[in-house]
Amino acid sequence: MAFGIKRDEMKQWKAAVARGEIAFLTHYWLDPKFPWMTTVTKVGCSDLDKLSCWCVENGLPPQHIHARDDYPHFDLIGGKQVEILIKEKLYDQLERFRLLEGETKEWKR
């Protein structure tokens, strides 16, 4: 179950994914398979080859891409989620979802 995002944010993400862009959307999330996780970042792109390459370039297994719908995506959680959001300079998502609570904000420099 996803929550903590606005309808417009979801629309913008879906539009970017549909255009074949690599798009990021972080939201609060509850999943019984991962009860210790509270957020997920969906990295989407309708171009599966492009998304697969992005996964490989970032040390992620492309076989875990969710390609069963109109918005193919890879779910980022945990440390890799934080690492990628910093790499992509998506500081607003890091702060909004408190993904660096208790850590220094050296990454902002």
Question: Is 12's pLDDT higher than 50?
Answer: yes
* C-alpha to C-alpha distance for 49 and 83, rounded to whole angstroms: 22
Confidence at residue 102, expressed as pLDDT on a 0 to 100 scale: 52
- pLDDT tens, residue by residue, 18-77: 999 999 999 988 888 888 888 999 999 999 999 999 999 999 999 999 997 899 999 999
Question: Is 105's pLDDT higher than 90?
Answer: no
* C-alpha to C-alpha distance for 17 and 71, rounded to whole angstroms: 6
Confidence at residue 69, expressed as pLDDT on a 0 to 100 scale: 82
pTM: predicted TM-score of the whole model, two decimal places: 0.86
